[in-house]
Amino acid sequence: MRKITFWMAVCGLFTVGSTYAQRVESLAFADFEHWVTREIKESSLLGGKTKTVYAIAPTQHIKGNKAYKNMGGSPWASSNVMANVMGVVKASNTVRPEKREGGGTCACMETVIEDCCVLGMMNMHVLVSGSIFLGKVNEPIRSTKNPYSKMEMGVPFTKRPTRLIFDYKYKASPDNFRTQSTGFSSRKQLPGRDNGEVYILLQHRWEDADGNVYAHRVGTGRERYGKSTSGWVNGHSIPIHYGDITDKPFYKSYMGLIPKESSYYCRNSKGKMVPVIEVGWGKPDEPVTHMLVMASATCGTAYVGGLGSTLWIDNIALGY
């Protein structure tokens, strides 16, 4: 990794108020110095423009409408995708590399309205939000139904970190409401402000004889950001709490188990995409089998968010 901030060097040696050494383990490609640049030509029905779409992986340039799969050992996927619905190709890019003031590159995620002009006559306005996560996206996207079913969320993992560490900067939406815009109906304003979000979830997963996948939540670290920062917050740390945390003073409702209807997906041993159903809290010492890490400019459902909300992130690591 070419760059390393001062906080990471210090954290690798000492913990404040402790004489015990701490270990910091960077996640692969989480210094965001390497990006794949894709050139995707959208269908002539949509204007035929060539769109630049980025992926987090070893530096490479890909020209043409080729389905993307994680490259070069990168564990990262994002909201940047190519869709091909009944032969109509559309690309979306809400995550991009951006240079930091002090040098190096970070990931920038933003919430915007994408305009889609069909045959030069019908304009569709779709709200899209930037996010990155450990896992895969199964391109090309064939429909807008059930977005999570196109994403393999989480990676195999058996360690027990105590915190998620990263640099971040956040710009909150100027709106005191959230915007909903699906492209198929008029734009709506929903009550409540939007928030940026970063989380790490540790699960113990298992599969039954029918291929259904279930999980216990073993570890939880989750934060939301509602106010703009004055600049970069370097070396920020989210503690990871093990076991059932619902009776803890720091617990917030969004830290709870993932509702069944909002389950993330994985590919089971039969090669089928199935929901991962969190059926309960694991014991604090229960073995971990999978890790989920996500950063997002918004915390809402698909097509809902605060316009203009932007999250920058860099140097994601695990602390032990």
What is the full per-residue pLDDT of the chain (320 aa) written as tens digits? 434 443 333 343 333 333 345 799 999 999 999 999 999 999 888 888 899 999 999 999 999 999 999 999 999 999 999 988 888 898 989 999 999 998 999 999 998 877 665 555 446 667 788 999 999 999 988 876 788 889 999 999 999 999 999 999 999 998 888 887 666 667 777 888 899 999 999 999 999 999 999 999 999 999 999 999 999 999 999 999 999 999 999 999 999 999 999 999 999 999 999 999 999 999 999 999 999 999 999 987 777 778 889 999 999 999 99
| HSE, side-chain direction, 13 A CA sphere, residue 318 | 17
Q: What are phi and psi for residue 318, nearest 5 degrees? A: -110, 140
Number of domains in the chain: 1
In a domain, 70, yes or no: yes
Q: Is residue 271 part of a domain?
A: yes
pTM for the predicted model, two decimal places: 0.88
Cβ(221)–Cβ(239) under 8 Å? yes
How far is 9 from 24, CA to CA, in rounded Å?
9
User: Facing residues of 74 across strands?
Assistant: none
Range of the domain at 154: 6-319
SS3 content of the chain, % helix, strand, coil (to 5): 5, 50, 45
Omega of the bond leading into 161 within 30 degrees of 0 (cis) = no
| CATH at 206 | 2.60.120
Query: Which tokens hold the place of 203?
Result: 């699960």
Handedness of CA 314, 50, 40, 196 (dihedral sign): positive
The verdict on residue 311 lying in a domain is yes
Tens digits of residue pLDDT in 79-97 = 999 988 888 898 989 999 9
Asked if the structure places residue 297 within a domain, the reply is yes
User: Which run of H or E residues covers position 11?
Assistant: helix 6-11
In a domain, 1, yes or no: no
DSSP 260: G
Assigned domain for 116 exists: yes
